[in-house]
Structure 1
Amino acid sequence: MAALRLALALLPCALEGKLLSTVVLPHGDFAYDPSLVNRSGGSVELHAAALKLGRAVSQAAPELLFVTTPHGLELSKEYLVYLNSHNAGASPLDDMPHAAGNRTVPMNFSSPQDVAKRLLGHLQAQQLPVEGLQGFSDALPLPISWGEILPLSFVRKAREEEGLELPPVLLMSFPLRRFNHSDTMVPEPCVQ
């Protein structure tokens, strides 16, 4: 729920455009592949719902996806805006106790550096706890994994079915302090 609140608060204050929708997609491997848990525990229903949301996002024809991730690169105290023009990685599907061998879900996508820098500048001007990260002189992509890849895989699948590519993705991650100080983070939305 914090990700949804953050997305709603941050987007209107920094970007010109229209917010088409907000969705919360799972990042668990069992939602991606219910067979990992023998199709139990609601995994089939969760998978079906995530596919439906992925189609809804794709049908909205977004020019940009703003994704907050709970398991991406993390700073100690600040939110993090990814500033590289590309992000790439592979999500493992072999977490215990439901090992599936060495299967992975690869993904790479572009990110709009100009929009990311504008968002970062606006949030910092509001004196909000946010920093940007550009790695490897932008010659290589920033690493991503299950927290970004698995949710985006549902959108990517829908886009591919329509013969379209994934639109550019703007990534923002949550700070490590969320584990011990989440109650004090609630009043941090964008000040307009």
Structure 2
Amino acid sequence: MVDRIPCIVKQLMKSEKARLQTFSSWPFTDPQDLAQAGFFCVRWSDLVQCFCCGGELSGSDLKDDAWKEHSRSFPHCFFILGHNVGNVPLQMDDEGYPEKGCPPCMKTLKERLSSFDDVQHPVDPKKLAEAGFYSTGKGEEVLCFSCGGGLENWKRQLDPFQQHAKHYPGCKFLATTKGQAFINNIQLHRHKRQKNSAAIIRNVASL
């Protein structure tokens, strides 16, 4: 597909927040899911368009997961393939941390790991800390120091990085550590793993 997005619009729509704001009167599927998947609403129509590849889809045709539809319709999109195309995740400051919420000390792996000292957790604390999580001290609850995403109800076999990417794909720490291709791949297959998942508790970044 030929990219027909004007340059100024393309630059603006690199921001997930800006993309989400275009869905103010969107009557179809979850607009947040669409904005995360790179789409913004084309004004005065039922079309959505990718800020990266320029691909367009009709809202009435978006009956499946936005990531899956994007990949199926535009498999060569650099954003879907995980390239660094300048995407700006929702509610991150200039350094990639939440505008409100997480303790600055938890930016270090050592501090995150120490938060599990008096906690019995079904998942290896080192793996959780490496994936950006620290313990809240309340049972199995963990929060990400970067995006503020919270998870609980863990099972021993769950992979922290995969759970992080599944529930909080906009996390900048996750993108830096694992790469956008890893995140996008998890998003594309997340429905297959729905029954084998930790549960969201809250997202501190949105408080």
- Greater share of strand: 1
* TM-score (norm. length: structure 2): 0.24
Larger relative contact order (Cα-Cα within 8 Å, sequence gap ≥ 6):
1
**Of the two, which has the highest radius of gyration?**
2
* TM-score (norm. length: structure 1): 0.25
